[in-house]
Amino acid sequence: MPTPIKMPALSPTMEEGTLAKWLVKPGDTVSAGDIMAEIETDKATMEFEAVDEGTIASIAVEEGTEGVKVGTVIAMLAEEGEDLDEAAAADSGASAKAEASGSEDKASDKPTETPASAGDQAKAAPAAPKSDDGNRIKASPLARRIAEQKGLDLSSITGSGPSGRIVKADVEDAKPGAAPAKEAAAAPTPAPAKPATMGGDLDAPYEAQKLNNVRKVIARRLTEAKQTIPHIYLTVDVRLDALLKLRSELNKSLEADSIKLSVNDLLIKAQARALQRVPLCNVSFQGEELYQYTREDISVAVAAPSGLITPIIRDAGRKGLAQISTEMKELAGKARDGKLQPHEFQGGTASLSNLGMFGTKQFDAVINPPQAMILAVGAGEQRPHVIDGALGVATVMSATGSFDHRAIDGADGAQFMQAFQQLVENPMGLLV
C-alpha cells in the first residue's frame, strides 16, 4: 500500500512552510534517513529526512510552493513491488481528502495576514479555477501563480502530473493564447502590472524581494519585543588586556588539541558566570509568574544566509572554555549551512550579540522574548584609560545589557553588568 509523505512539523510553532527544494524525483529509491527535501520553516531552512524506505511514486507539491500546511500530502512513496503508476494515482485520493477538509484551499487561496499593496495582491496565488463542466481544475499552487502571471488559461492546458494535475513545467512551457470565447466574454481585462522599478513611499528605484519565513518571524518577534517589553539599557566599559593575554596563553596550551579559543568564547563563559553570580537576571517574565532558571543557556546571535539565528550553548556556566569553543564552532557552521536542528536554537535563558568583529563600537540589542536580557558587545579598541590612578592606554570594549524592566530591576541589571566587567577584567575566574 502506498505511503503518503506529508508536510512535517519541523518546529513546535510551525503551521506551514515553503517546500524550498526537492532532492529526489519520481522513480528514486529512498531509505530511512535519506534527505528528500529542504523545507523553509518559520525558524530556518531545514532538511527533511525519509522515515520509510521505498520508491518515490509522485511529487504532489512542486518545489518553491509556499504556504504548505503541516499535514498536507507532498509526495507518495511506493513500497517494494508496488506499481508506481497505481501508487501515483493514490495521490489524487489523498488530495481529495485534503480538499474535503479545506486544507488545500486554505493553503492556496488564503490571503496573507499582513496588509498587502496592489502589487502584492497581484502576486498572490489565484483561487482554484474550474473547467466548463464545473469541475475543479487540478493544478499546484505554484502552477496557478505562474499561469496568472503569464496570462494563461488553465482549462486549455493539459497536465502532466499525477491524475492530470497541472504542474510547474506545464505552465512554463505553455504560451499565452486566446481564451475560450465563452470565458473571454465574461472575464474582465486584467489591468497591466505596475513595474516594480520606480515608486514606493520614497519614490526611488527599487527591486522587490519577497521575505522568507525566517525574516518574517524575525520581523514579527522583534516588533513584538519593542512594543511589549519595556527595555532598560545599561552600559559599562571593560578592559580586555588581561582577557586577551589569557586567551593567547590558553591557545598555546591547546594548540596540540587543535582548539583555538575566540574572544567570543570567553565572553559566553563570562556572561554565564555573571548570571550565576546574579541569578535575578537569569529570569523570564511570564505574565502572572516570574521564571527563575537554574541553568545558564546562552543564545548566541549568528548571521546566517536566511537571517539572524541564535544557536544555544546550554549550561554554559558549568562548561569549560574548550568545550564551549568546540560547540560554538560546530553550531555556527550548521547555522550558516541551514542545518541546525530545532533543539539547537529553540530556548535559551539569555542572549549574546557580538558585533565587535565589524568594528561596531557600541549598540543596544533588542531582547529576544521570552528571555529577559541580551548582552551587546562592541569592538575592543585602544582608548585612553585611567589605570591605577594614572592616565594610560588600554584595550577597552563597551558592553550594553538590555533588560526587561518587568522582570529585572535596574539595580539587579547593574550588578550583572558589574559582575560581567569583573570577570572579563580578572579572567582567571572563567577557569573555575
| Catalytic sites, residue numbers | 405
**Residue 25 β-bridge partners:** none
Give CA–CA dist 253/247, Å, rounded.
10
Q: Are strands 373-377 and 307-309 parallel, antiparallel or unpaired?
A: unpaired
Cα–Cα dist 376/354, whole Å: 6
Report how far Cα 202 is from the mean position of its chain's Cα atoms.
29
Half-sphere exposure for 290 (CA within 13 Å, toward CB) = 13
Give the residues across from 79 on adjacent strands: none
